[in-house]
Structure 1
Amino acid sequence: MSNATDTFTAHLRDLDAAGSVVEFEAELPTAAAAAERLGCELGAIANSLIFTADDEPLLIIASGAHRVDTKHVARLLGVRKIRRATPEFVLEVTGQPVGGVGPVGHPRPIRTVVDRMLADFPEVWAGAGAKHAMFPTSFDELVRITGGLAAEVEKP
């Protein structure tokens, strides 16, 4: 295992998460590539996406089958504007690179929203802090380990 995945694995253990980090030989650059490699549905990929919400970091864990409706989520959270974060901001607030951001393991807690669609799958796969690593989990566990708000991230 790499240093990044060792650190991420330690975070999972500290949180009593059930899944183990799986490393792949190549990066999994998209949810579609991850789903194909894992042999699961696109909707079972839990994308950890960093945004800014009124200039504060916001983590939205979205199903790979969804596009985040930032106006909808802004209304839900009572913030003025949500914007996609720059790669530099993502690395600064998570300590993890774009394409490998996990739902946990960040230097400081980040306000989190977890896409309810992920509840449709008994097992979902999330990033594990590196572009070539993921771990299996569940919707309920994602909500628990992130302290996240379960919500629709696409406009109903």
Structure 2
Amino acid sequence: MSLESVKAHFKQWNRERDIMEFEASSATVDLAAEAIGCIPARIAKTLSFRGAGEAAILVVAAGDAKIDNKKFRETYSFKARMLSPDEVLEQTGHAIGGVCPFGLKNDLEVYLDVSMQRFETLFPACGSSNSAMELTLDELEQYSFAKGWVDICKGWKDEEKLAEEALQNT
């Protein structure tokens, strides 16, 4: 059902056929990266949090990024509290492992984290635990109807710096 809502969402841009479906699970960042054949950081994971009101908010971030609670609180003026699996399904219409900012059950605010801006394309899930789609940053922003870009993650800059240093030392 959820994959179907995402396909319906992408019909407005004639992109529903671009959704990749895998025989193996892509329910985690590592499994998705393995199924696609890319580094885990290029997986665009969608995280769901309790919003200030009844509705959840979604944050899409790079696969290697982690929420920085201080930055989150400074940005949204409330504490980062992730939804339970049942709440995620209720709010988004997608089960854990296939959560994405497309074909949502409810009209939720979507934000994109700057951790993704170091890549030309990323791979968000498409409503099921064995699907994904390659999108540019502009496409991700457009198709998710994102409210804007935020800087609320940590960890990824450290990895990027380590990779740059490793390249310089070779």
Q: TM-score, normalised by structure 1?
A: 0.87
Conserved? CA contact 1:28–1:131, under 8 Å: yes
- Unaligned runs of 5+ residues in structure 1 are none
Query: Does structure 1 residue 11 correspond to structure 2 residue 9?
Result: yes
Partner Cα separation in structure 1 for residue 109 and residue 69 of structure 2: 15
Residue identity over aligned pairs, in percent, reads 27
Task: Work out which of the residue numbers 43, 47, 50 in structure 1 matches 2:48.
Answer: 50
Tell me how far 1:44 sits from its aligned partner.
0.8
Partner Cα separation in structure 2 for residue 99 and residue 58 of structure 1: 17
* Between structures 1 and 2, the one with greater helix share: 2
Residue 47 of structure 2 aligns to a residue whose secondary structure is: strand
What's 2:94 paired with? 96
Matches within 5 A, 1:27-66: 27-55=25-53, 56-66=55-65
Instruction: For residues 19-57 of structure 1, give each alpha carbon's deviation from its aligned partner in whole angstroms, at most 9, with x where no partner exists.
Output: 711111122231112112211122110001111133530
Q: TM-score, normalised by structure 2?
A: 0.80
Conserved? CA contact 1:19–1:136, under 8 Å: no
Conserved? CA contact 2:44–2:62, under 8 Å: yes
Tell me how far 1:143 sits from its aligned partner.
1.6
Partner Cα separation in structure 1 for residue 139 and residue 87 of structure 2: 26
Runs of at least 4 residues off by over 6 Å: none
- Unaligned runs of 5+ residues in structure 2 are 158-170
Matches within 5 A, 1:6-155: 6-15=4-13, 20-55=18-53, 56-77=55-76, 79-148=77-146, 149-155=148-154
Query: May I ask how many residue pairs the two structures share in their alignment?
Result: 153
Conserved? CA contact 1:47–1:62, under 8 Å: yes
Amino acid at match of 2:109: R
Tell me how far 1:6 sits from its aligned partner.
3.1
| Backbone CA RMSD of aligned residues | 2.0
Tell me how far 1:16 sits from its aligned partner.
5.8
Amino acid at match of 2:91: V
Partner Cα separation in structure 2 for residue 90 and residue 115 of structure 1: 19
